[in-house]
Structure formats: C-alpha cells, structure tokens
Structure 1
Amino acid sequence: MRMPIYFLLLFTFLTANFITAQEIKTLTYFENDTIKLDLDLYLPLKKSDKKIPLVIFAHGGGFSGGDRFGEKNFAISLAQNGIAVASISYTLYMKDKDFGCSATLLEKIKTIQIGVNDMWQATSYLIKTQKVYNIDVSKIFITGISAGAEIAFHAVFWDYEIMNLYSDNLPTNFKYAGLIGGSGAIMNVDFIDAKNAIPMLLSHGSEDTTVPYATGSHRSCPADSMGFLTLSGSYSVYNRMTSLKKNIELITSCGGGHEFCGYLFGKEPDYVLDFINNVIAKRKFESHITIPSAKKSEGLSQYSFCN
C-alpha cells in the first residue's frame, strides 16, 4: 500500500527536523584588522549541572580549501551523547597556492604554524568562555582530518614558546586530554615524549601518497624538490606511543589511500565516543585494528599485517 503524499511529506519534515534539531552557536573566536575566524559550537540539548567534555575539530583541505561545515553529522552525534564540539575555521594560507612539491619548505612550515596558532586561539577562547558553555577544561580533546590532523599534532607537540605567534594565548600548563586524527602526521615523531604524550585515536590508509602512513615525504615529493618535507604519519606515531607505553589506538585501512582520512568522523563516530569515554574513565588501552580496503593494491605490502 502506497503512503498518501500528505503523510509522506509530514514524515519527511518531522524526520529532517529530528535529525537537525541541535543547539549550534556560531561564535567569532579571533579577529584583527585582516582576518575574522569563526567556530560552530555544538552543545548538548539536554542540559546538566555537570561540566561537559569538549572536542575541537579542524577540517581538511590541504590548507587551501574545505570548511568547518563538512562534519556536521559527526558533531551532532557527539553532542547528542553529552559532548560539546567546536568545529573551527582557520587560515587557509595556501589558498590559490601550491602546497605540494613546488612550495618551499619554509612556506609549508609557516602554513602549519599559522593553522596551529589559530587552533591555540580557538582553544584559548573556549577556555575563557568555559563558564558560559559549561565546559570542563580538563577534558578538551583536539581532533582533525588531514591538514586539520596535522594542525592537531603540532598544536599538541610543538614547542609552544617557540612557535606561538600571539602574546595572549593558552594558559600556562594547559594540556589537551586526547588527540583524534584522521590521516595526519607530525614533522618529527621525537617531538612526542613520555612527559607530553596524550592518549590518541588515529586512522590512516597504509598506501596514502598525500600524507605518509609511516615516515616519508609529504605529497610523495622527491628529495630534490623545493617542497620536500619529511613527515611521520599515524603508524610511526603508533610505534612511538607503544614504545613509551602510552595509550594509543590505530585503525589501518590496508591498501587504503588518503580517502580514508574521514573514516572516524563519517563512518565510525562510535569509535571516537568510546575513545573519549575511555580517556575520561582513565582506562589503559592499546590496539591496532586493520581493515581491508576496496582499493587494496595487488602484491605484497611493506607492512606484514596487511599481507
């Protein structure tokens, strides 16, 4: 029996409004004479006297594109589970420029530095407004996809005193509660040590040619190119964290490429929720999950767990 058109339209309207019903505040977290940066803050509809955790999310796009609206469903799913999410805009310094092998190394470092400082500014703003939004500043998680994950890694592990561009930024001794990264990397895995390591949930494709899965060249640039930059991806970070006996979870797409960067945020937000709950509960964990990729290349991988 076919549903009458009136009831079909009514069902569609109610379903759409149920899915999108969410308290979202658009806030300007940084502004000067040349730039205005906003964030969308997703807050749980169910209010509580108890302070709530916060996830700060940076989108992907190679520092030249993308926007803060792309993972809206991910943010809503966490907010519906009592976790606030701030999805930030940040400076797209490489817009209309080449962030690949023709870019200079200094330009690449400057690009990441500007994005990191935007993240620090967003974090500072949310710490200062913690009482307004009932945020637990001891439970602020940092997360991102691709370029956003590179921002997250360096925001956590770069030397703050050296790389900070602003005088009024993060409070002394602030530390993120955990890091969630989709196909991200850090310039030097040795930046991570026993003192500054924080719990991590990472995902990455083993055949990523944009951001290396282990330690390799950014964008697969040859060593004699201007844009040659060595990065340590999720697998190298995983090995570093396990050697330090720190909490780490890695999900590897065997044969997967850079398209896997959004896996945690688009397909498996429950992994993120479980990770956050485990960190808050101070549980110990270490795991490496491997999943096959539909694009798995023929032949043997250099990683034995993918063969």
Structure 2
Amino acid sequence: MKKLLFILLLFISVSGSAQSRFTQDIFQLQNIETQTYATKDGVDLKLDIYQPAKDTMQNRPIIIFMHGGGFAGGTRTNPNEVNFAKAAARKGYVAVQISYRLTRKGKSFGCDYKAEGKMETFQLAAEDFMDAVNYMVQQKDTYRIDPSKVIVGGSSAGAEAVLNAVYNERLMFSDVSRYQNFDFAGVFSLAGALVDARYINEENAIPGVFFHGTEDNLVPYGTAPHHWCNRKQPGYIMLDGAKTITEKLKELNTSYMLYSFEGGKHEHSGMPFDYLSEVFDFFNSVFLNEEKLQVEVWK
C-alpha cells in the first residue's frame, strides 16, 4: 500500500511539473549566448540565445523573435523583447532574439518610397529571419532543440518579415527548398501584416497569435495601404493585417487567437505583458499540443 501511495505521489509530482512547464516560471536563466548567424554586406548578423538553467529536457521548443523599427532602427536588446525572451526561457523554452539588416536606416519607408522597394525590403528581412531560423536548427544538438516545435514572432516591421516568410514564402523566396529542415509550430505577431493573405493555404496555414489596434495608422489591421498611402504615391502597396489573416485562418479551420484593440493605433506593436499569461497558455495548448482553438478578444 505504501509503495502504491509513493508511486501515486510520484505520478502527481511529475504530472504537475509537466503541466507547469511552458506556462509557469520554473527555471532560473543560463548565461545569455551571442552568436553570429550570417555575414551580409560586410555586417555580422547576431542573435542572442536565452536558455533555462539546469534543464534536462532533450528536445525543447524554440521561440525566435524579430524586433521592429521600420527596417531602419530597433535592436535585439530592446528591453521589452529581452524581458519576453527571459520570460520564455524561465518557462522552459529556448528563446532567441535576432538582429537583421536595417536596409532603410537613415532612409524613408513611407509613401515616398516606391512599392517595389518596399517589397524588396520585406524579402531581404524575411531572408535574414529564415537564415537565423536555419542557423538555430543546424545547432539543434548543441541547444537541444526540437525542429518540429519552432515558434516564430515579431513586432511591427519584424512581424511583417516573419508573416511574409511564413505565409507568403512564394512571394519572398526564389528557392524555398533551403528552408525545409524544420516545421513552424506557430506565429506570434504584434501589429504585423503581410503582402497577400490569399497565399495562405492548407499547407502553410500555421496557427497564430495576433495583437493589433483597429485604427493602426502604419500597419493595417484589416486590408489597406501600408502607411495609408494613396494610389498616386510611389509607396502605395496593399497589405493584409491581423484581421484579414485570421479570417483566412478561420476559413481554413486553423487555430488562432486575435486580440483586437478598439481604436488602438500602432502602440500595440509593443510587447503585451498584461496578456503574456494567456499567450503562453495558447502556445502550450495549440502550438505544442496541437489543440484546436479559435479565440477572438476585443479590448
């Protein structure tokens, strides 16, 4: 009887630990590692790797995040992104913050910049993002990464690069075969948009978490011109934001969670710390355990 009771208590202990991992802070942090994932145009592109300390799990999910800044600024060491990475690592994820080529640094990315140039900007940033993902997956043994559990995310410009890479890969890359050694488990977008939601199909309809203000004045919440340029301006290019993307995912019976902020502008590209508990719960349920959920929250 005592042996049976011991086994039962052990089961409850292990089960409780398994349930809290990925949703609760159960680890301390290992020292942050910085690696160079590519060198382009004479610039070393770096990433920072955050890991849980004293973690024995052999195949761990990874979150790779791309900062915003209009392709002209921003940094992987922005405090909000760093705090998000630390929060993820404390829950048992390998979390990565990446730098990428800021091709519009000191230049406009508004209505005076031609649409063709904007498209090229998206393509270059998407390429950098995918190269960073490739680098980490190639190091999967070193960092004990499960290449079938790759979660990717971004804020503003970073979200645009990530969303286009995941859902508009045929518009972004001439050779998608370079990026077939891993699977995206989910997408996390903060005020992001892509070129054309019609390219989302059953094969690439990855589940996603989306935060967006309904009156975003830079990146459209629904379908609208980037920066609200008019048709006569060089920078006129239509983009599909969170609302349009999730409508397509819903049509394809794919899981998603959409937080819509009534009247909100581009400030919702910031990390939603007030809602991270819900975000990590969704990551765990849908991205890691493949539950089916379609959630829409209005604020």
Q: What band does the TM-score fall into relative to the shorter chain? A: 0.7 to 0.9
Residue in structure 2 matching 1:198, options 194, 206, 211:
206
Tell me by how many angstroms 1:169 deviates: 3.8
1:14 corresponding residue in structure 2: none
**Which residue pairs with 2:42 in the alignment?**
34
Q: In the alignment, which residue of structure 2 is the partner of 1:91?
A: 101
Count of residues paired in the alignment? 270
Contact 2:167 2:197 in 1 (8 A): no
- Percent identity of equivalent pairs: 34
Which residue of structure 2 lines up, in the alignment, with residue 258 of structure 1? 266
Q: Is 2:117 the partner of 1:107?
A: yes
Instruction: Give the letter aligned to residue 279 of structure 2.
Output: V
Aligned-pair CA distance for 1:193: 1.0
Residue number in structure 1 paired with 2:146: 136
Structure 1 unpaired stretches of 5+: 1-18, 292-307
> In the alignment, which of 277, 285, 303 is matched to residue 293 of structure 2?
285
Q: Which moved more, 1:79-88 or 1:275-284?
A: 275-284
Check whether the contact 1:124–1:171 (CA below 8 A) recurs between aligned residues. no
Cα contact 1:77–1:269 (8 A) shared by 2: no
Of 265, 269, 288, 2:276 maps to 269
CA-CA distance at 1:165 after TM superposition: 6.8
> How many angstroms does 1:272 deviate by?
2.6
Partner of 2:90: 80
Deviation at 1:51, TM superposition (A): 1.2
- Following superposition of structure 1 onto structure 2, how do residues 216-255 of structure 1 map, counting pairs within 5 Å? 216-255=224-263
Q: Which amino acid aligns with 2:115?
A: L
RMSD: 1.9
Pick aligned residue for 1:47 from 34, 50, 55: 55
Cα gap change, 1:244 to 1:167, in 2 (>3 Å): closer
Q: Report how far residue 263 of structure 1 moved.
A: 4.0
Query: Hey, what does 1:298 align to over in structure 2?
Result: none
Residue 33 (structure 1) shift: 5.7
Which residue identity is paired with 1:272? V
SS at match of 1:110: helix
Could you say if the C-alpha distance between residues 33 and 90 of structure 1 is closer, same or farther in structure 2, counting changes exceeding 3 Å?
A: closer
- Measured after TM superposition, the shift of residue 166 of structure 1 is 7.9
Question: How many Å apart are 1:41 and its aligned residue?
Answer: 0.6
Unaligned ranges ≥5, structure 2: 1-26
Taking structure 2 as the reference length, the TM-score comes to: 0.86
- Aligned-partner residue type, residue 90 of structure 1: Y
Q: Could you tell me which amino acid in structure 2 is paired with residue 268 of structure 1?
A: Y
CA displacement 1:144-183 (0-9 Å, x = unmatched): 00001101111112235x63378994235x4311101000
Q: Which residue of 2 aligns with 1:116?
A: 126
Confirm or deny: 8 A CA contact 2:153 2:187 kept in the other structure: yes
